[in-house]
């Protein structure tokens, strides 16, 4: 959520920043609600002042006197009027809150202009993605793939996009998760095992609501949402709390299964492990001081990149343009791994700075040493990493002539052998 003062005082700058994201917001409508809310607030405060004055005057009058009785009548009339206006004020407060929730975060000045993914900027390239890999195939075409990654039975039991991982398929997923968590711990992230269902307040705090209702799985009787990413429960860990400035920055990581309904599109881009309704991911999250948030974003991105480097996977880093930023993000880098069989890039991590946008919604603050007053933290997160596409790249890039997949050296201690087989 943006600072209302920013919208009131610099509406044209806010309008221009929103336009950079190529989103449409009725900012005039929001400002009109704000004017009505503040007018109602002044009216209610004036009536409350009258009530207080009448009470003070009554205390100085003899009970039962004509003047006292007149003041009682006056106070009752003012009280009734105040109650009516308080109802209006409460309605306007909620209307203004909902209007503010509809306004996206503003892009950082360093975010490039652009409308589509084609306008994203290649920030960095790592590894020889053009090196010949004569045995590479799209991972779903590898002989025996369906024995380890059983999509047909997953569809029977649940639906499309919910595969079974069997035998070495299950073990390689577990190995990757173990590797990610161990490496992130070495980088200073404290591991957390969070709930995988969240309430509406938590989803609202991170910006999933009211923007992405149709993309989340909801348990109707309890009004809980299956997490689309561990970002949601992790960010809310400190919701409505004040931390000491000396505690910042705070680093956390978490593994969760992730659930996303939007995965049900069709075509070659969603075949195999490319896009699932349920998938495993390790999330990195930071609560940081505003003065260091962009340096901390670069550090987080480097931590995610290091995982790909250790797995010896070619990848690139994209700086996302305004039109390809999410609703809540101020700046975002995407990490894309090279898929040798499909001959294309697959996103495996988004590293984003939300500045104070999520913290204002969640009321996550720190107490400044000098001022002693609560101030909003900045939140930063990124995948470290998402399993399915990393696994797809491993299968395709490391496929050998005999149909086995060579396991990266750093992963062997977790997987327990040097090759994955499809027998």
If you write DSSP's letter for every residue of 258-288 in order, what string do you get?
EE-GGG---SGGGSTTSS-SEEEEEEEEEEE
User: Nearest CA to 275 among 285, 283, 289, 264?
Assistant: 264
Same fold, 4-101 and 117-420: no
Q: Measuring CA to CA, how many Å separate 57 from each of 64, 70, 256? A: 14, 11, 63
Q: Which of 380, 291, 393, 287 is nearest to 348 (CA)?
A: 393
Domain map of the chain by residue range?
A: 4-101, 117-420
pLDDT in tens, 131-189: 999 999 999 999 999 999 999 999 999 999 999 999 999 999 999 999 999 999 999 99
Kindly state which CATH superfamily the domain 117-420 is placed in: Bira Bifunctional Protein; Domain 2 (3.30.930.10)
User: pTM above 0.85?
Assistant: yes
pLDDT means over runs of 10, the chain (423 residues): 96 96 95 95 91 82 83 83 93 95 97 96 96 95 97 97 97 98 98 98 96 88 96 98 96 98 62 96 98 98 98 98 96 98 97 98 93 94 98 98 98 98 89
A 10 A CB-CB count for 408 gives: 16
pLDDT of amino acid 265 = 52
Q: What is the pLDDT of residue 377?
A: 98
Collapsed DSSP state (helix, strand, coil) of residue 220? coil
**Two tokens, residue 170:** 């299950």
**Residue 30 CA to its chain's centroid (Å):** 24
The span from the CA of 321 to the CA of 325, in Å, is 6
278-289: pLDDT as tens digits = 999 999 999 999
Q: Is the peptide bond before 215 cis (omega within 30 degrees of 0)?
A: no
What is the pLDDT, as a whole number, of residue 52?
84
Which CATH number applies to 4-101? 1.10.287.40
């Amino acid at each position: 959520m943006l600072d209302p003062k920013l919208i009131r005082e610099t509406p044209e700058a806010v309008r221009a920043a929103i336009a950079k994201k190529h989103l449409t917001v009725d900012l005039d409508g929001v400002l009109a609600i704000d004017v009505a809310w503040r007018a109602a607030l002044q009216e209610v405060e004036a009536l409350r002042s009258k009530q207080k004055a009448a009470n003070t005057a009554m205390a100085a009058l003899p009970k039962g006197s004509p003047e006292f009785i007149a003041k009682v009548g006056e106070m009752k009339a003012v009280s009734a009027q105040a109650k009516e206006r308080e109802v209006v004020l409460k309605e306007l407060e909620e209307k203004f809150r909902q209007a503010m929730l509809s306004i996206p975060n503003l892009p950082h000045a360093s975010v490039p202009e652009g409308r589509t993914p084609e306008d994203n900027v290649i920030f960095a390239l790592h590894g020889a993605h053009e090196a010949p890999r004569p045995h590479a195939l799209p991972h779903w075409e590898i002989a025996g793939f369906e024995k380890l990654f059983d999509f047909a039975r997953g569809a029977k039991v649940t639906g499309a996009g919910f595969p079974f991982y069997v035998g070495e398929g299950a073990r390689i997923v577990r190995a990757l998760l173990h590797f990610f968590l161990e490496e992130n711990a070495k980088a200073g992230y404290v591991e957390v095992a969070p709930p995988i269902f969240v309430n509406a307040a938590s989803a609202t705090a991170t910006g999933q609501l009211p923007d992405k209702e149709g993309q989340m799985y909801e348990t109707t009787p309890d009004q809980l949402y299956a997490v689309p990413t561990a970002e949601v429960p992790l960010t809310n860990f400190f919701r409505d709390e004040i931390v000491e400035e000396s505690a910042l920055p705070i680093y956390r990581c978490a593994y969760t299964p992730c659930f996303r309904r939007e995965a049900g599109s069709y075509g070659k881009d969603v075949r195999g492990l490319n896009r699932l309704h349920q998938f495993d991911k390790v999330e990195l999250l930071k609560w940081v001081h505003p003065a260091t948030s962009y340096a901390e974003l670069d550090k987080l991105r480097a931590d995610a990149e290091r995982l790909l480097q250790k797995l010896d996977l070619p990848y690139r880093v994209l700086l996302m343009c305004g039109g390809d930023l999410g609703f809540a993000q101020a700046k975002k880098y995407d990490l894309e791994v090279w898929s040798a069989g499909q001959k294309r890039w697959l996103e495996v991590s988004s590293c984003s700075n939300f500045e104070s946008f999520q913290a204002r919604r969640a009321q996550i603050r720190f107490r400044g040493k000098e001022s002693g007053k609560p101030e909003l933290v900045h939140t930063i997160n990124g995948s470290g990493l998402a399993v399915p596409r990393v696994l797809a790249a491993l299968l395709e890039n490391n496929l050998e002539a005999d149909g086995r997949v060579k396991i990266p050296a750093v992963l062997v201690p977790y997987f327990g052998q040097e090759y994955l087989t499809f027998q």
